[in-house]
Amino acid sequence: MMKISIITATYNSAATVRDTLACIASQEYPNIEHLVVDGLSKDNTLDIVKEFPHVAYVISEKDKGIYDAMNKGVKLATGDIIGILNSDDFYTGPTTLSKVAEAFEDPAVEAVYGDLQYVNATNVHLVTRTWKSGTFRKRSLYYGWMPPHPTFFVRRHIYEKCGLFNTTLRSAADYELMLRVLVKFDARVQYIPEVLVKMRTGGMSNASLKNRFRANKEDAMAWKLNNLKPYFFTMWLKPLRKVLQFNPINIWQK
């Protein structure tokens, strides 16, 4: 049976990490390795982690940011499949990883992804945005498409072949990695057409034009680092796609 390694990076995550740990502890799939990579939290994050005996490995030390922490986790992981679940995210149900494992039963499949919902930070039953990914087509990335990274699972050999997260990028390292895997290295991909992950959000974080401009620059750099040439409108279609995902009724509710 394939082993699935899940990496969770934490830093002062006490307010949300319990849900992340609990959702993995409740998975029906029997062969899971959960690694927690902590950046020297000053709250009781690590005390909460100790409450969950399913966690296979915990490291707490200074890092250079979340992507550096993810890289540490990938290097430590021993699973056949690797996924990343952030400390404010959780799986939608106990069968999520069983469905991921089923998709990987086809030996030709190298990467799997699904859909994601953003939920209110204080009331996780309120869905503010639904990221419906759709079937994979490589050309879609040139039209601003990308899969939601928390739902993105790959075989371990993909990291060995394609490399780790580029820590010179502040916000687009996950986007750059997926470009590398899906376009440059042409990985075989399968889509699971259902919501796999729910992610807390504090609201419309991309409302600042300054932040959006900075993000666009990093997105463009992600293509350049891979010697890929996007269309002139690719970087602007990417944020525009997000607008259509919002549920205007629930965005401002608590």
The pLDDT assigned to 204 comes to 39
CA gap 198, 249 in Å, rounded: 18
Is pTM, for the whole model, over 0.85? yes
Picking from 173, 158, 222, the residue whose alpha carbon sits closest to that of residue 66 is 173
Per residue in 25-62, pLDDT (tens digit) is 999 999 999 999 999 999 999 999 999 999 999 999 99
Task: List the beta bridge partners of residue 239.
Answer: none
Per residue in 108-143, pLDDT (tens digit) is 999 999 999 999 999 999 999 999 999 999 999 999
Q: Taking a C-beta distance cutoff of 8 angstroms, is the pair 4, 95 a contact?
A: no
